Every structure is written in structure tokens, then in C-alpha cells.
Amino acid sequence: MNLSDTSSDKNKNFLFLILTGIILLICLISFRLLKASSDEKLEIECLFSRNTPMGFGVLPYLSEKDLQEQLGCIADFLSKNLERPVKINIAADYSTLGNLLDLDKVQIAWFSNSSYEHYRRGDSWEVLCRPMRDGKVYHQGVILCRENSDIKSVNDLKGKKFAYVDRNSGTGFVYANRFFRNNGIEPIKFFGEIAFSGNHSYSFDGLLNKEYDGIAVFNNNYFNESGEIASGTSFSGLRLLGMTPKILNDPLIVRKNLKPDLKEKLRNLMINMMKFPKGPETLAKLIKSRNYDRFASEEEVQKVFSGEE
């Protein structure tokens, strides 16, 4: 036997001892862990800093700038009273917004009423509250054309290019189509071309720029229920062709399993906004930009709406 063989055997024995020691150590640790799990219940709780941002999910039904201007005040109000940052998260579409809510990437999500009915996951979502607009729990959509066009009634839209907002928009698609069908119109066969603008602002711009002959959009207090231009409104240049049926105002949604005390605090802040710091100024901004008088509980909304129908 030469020296190299002896050295090799010693190295092998040394490695064997090291490996044996590691295995014994692993076995010992595993045994201690198993014993601990059988002797006592270990509870693990994920703790988050109260400075962890809360997500407020919305849809791009207006431009990003307009959304920040109109809804940023709500995020600021909640940030002040929750003592944690609240950030607006603009989702690409309602399906994405629902996924963000389910994955806890946003804790509050503002859906349209029709998209909430379509996308809610069984009984896992809950309506936190809804806004009251001009004292009403409902709103309506409008069918519009340019005032200087040759279109005088909804029937004159036949063969024309018509723009919806989004397939999950209540005023910009779902209830607009109910209006058409109530008037004996099957949109796919009736219009010459159909487009989806992506948000209400784009629909208005497209109509005024003659990209579309008619549009279905939200009636942002432009017309009263008699179809006349609302008092105090400088709205002009477009002609009203019809109004959709009444639609419940858009709900603010949370997950049902959201921490109960946080859920109730959010609900209380929204429904009793005037009583909290920054509440009066926030509501003043919402009245000016969106005609929101206040936010109401779902129980109140459903009770009032049942009396309106």
C-alpha cells in the first residue's frame, strides 16, 4: 500500500464522520421540534406596521388625473383617520380589480353596481357603503349624439357608429342595452359599427371629435329625469336621445373576512364622514366633483331603493 492510498482512506473516514454527525444533528433537531409541537400549540400571527399602505382600488373610468383629483380626497381622509397611508390603485378592468381584492392587494374596491353583481365571488365580498348623489341612491345613464347632427331620435342611430364604455359598465353598456331592447333595438344588428372607448371621458371626446355618432355614458347631473338640461348646468353641444333605467349607485366593496374592527372603522368613517377630521372638506370636494351628498349603509340604500322602484 502506498502513501496516497492511506491518505485517501483517511479522507473518506473523515467525511463519513462529518456526514454521520450532520445526520444525527438533524434527527435531534427534528425530534425536539416534533416534541414541542405535541406538547404545546404554537400560534403564529403576521404583524403589519400600521404604516403599511392600504389599497383603494378603482377603475380607469376617467383619466388618471381626473381620478386622482376626484377620489384622492377620500384616500387622504382615510389616511388621516386610520393613521396609515391609503393609496389609490387603478386596476385595468373589473376582473383585475376583483383579483386584487381577493389577493388582499387592495382592501377597498369601488365597483360599478353591475360589475359587482357579475364578479363577486359567492358570498366572500361585502358592500361597505354606497354614495348618495343629490339625495338619491340611484343614478341613470344617457344615450347621446351631437346636437348639430341629423340624428333626432334613438332610431336614427341605425347603421351609425356607436360607442360603449366597457362591457362591465352599468351606464356605459349593461343598462344602455336594456334601454335599447326596451325600445325594440338589438344593438348588434342595429348599429353599423360598435366601439368600446375605455372610459366615459374618452366617449365624450370621441363623440365631439366625430369619431362616434352616438354614445352611452353616465349622466353626470347633465339632465334631469324629464330629459331636460339640469338647472345650473352649462352642458351643451350634445342631444339627449334616451335615459337608462334606474341603477343603484356604485358600491364600495371589502372582503367579508377583513378584520372586523377595521371593517367597522372604515364603514363608520365613510357613513359619518362629517364627524371626523378632514371629513367636511372631503365631502365638500365630492359634492363639487361628483354630487355626492354623503355615504349610506347598504341596509339604508336597499330600503330606499325598494321604495323608488
Determine, yes or no, domain membership for 267. yes
Determine, yes or no, domain membership for 273. yes
Percent pLDDT > 70 in the chain is 77
Percent pLDDT > 90 in the chain is 57
* pLDDT over 90 (residue 21): no
Shared domain check, 150 and 110? no
Confidence of residue 73 (pLDDT cuts 50, 70, 90): very high
Determine, yes or no, domain membership for 290. yes
Radius of gyration of the chain (CA): 29
- The total number of structural domains in the chain stands at 2
What confidence score (pLDDT) does residue 70 get? 87
Shared domain check, 155 and 127? no
Q: Which of 223, 245, 267 marks a domain boundary?
A: 245
3-state secondary structure of 6: helix
- Domain hosting residue 218, numbered range: 141-245
Confidence of residue 48 (pLDDT cuts 50, 70, 90): very low
The answer to whether the CB of 72 falls within 8 A of the CB of 273 is: no
Shared domain check, 174 and 118? no
What confidence score (pLDDT) does residue 12 get? 58
Question: Which of the residue ranges 32-46, 97-111, 172-186 would you say has the lowest mean pLDDT?
Answer: 32-46
Q: Could you write out the DSSP letters of every residue in 259-309?
A: -HHHHHHHHHHHHTGGGSTTHHHHHHHHHHHH-EEEEE-HHHHHHHHHHH-
Per-residue model confidence as pLDDT tens digits over 151-160: 999 999 999 9
**Residue in the structure block whose three cell numbers are 373589473:** 94
CATH value at residue 208: 3.40.190.10
* pLDDT over 90 (residue 210): yes
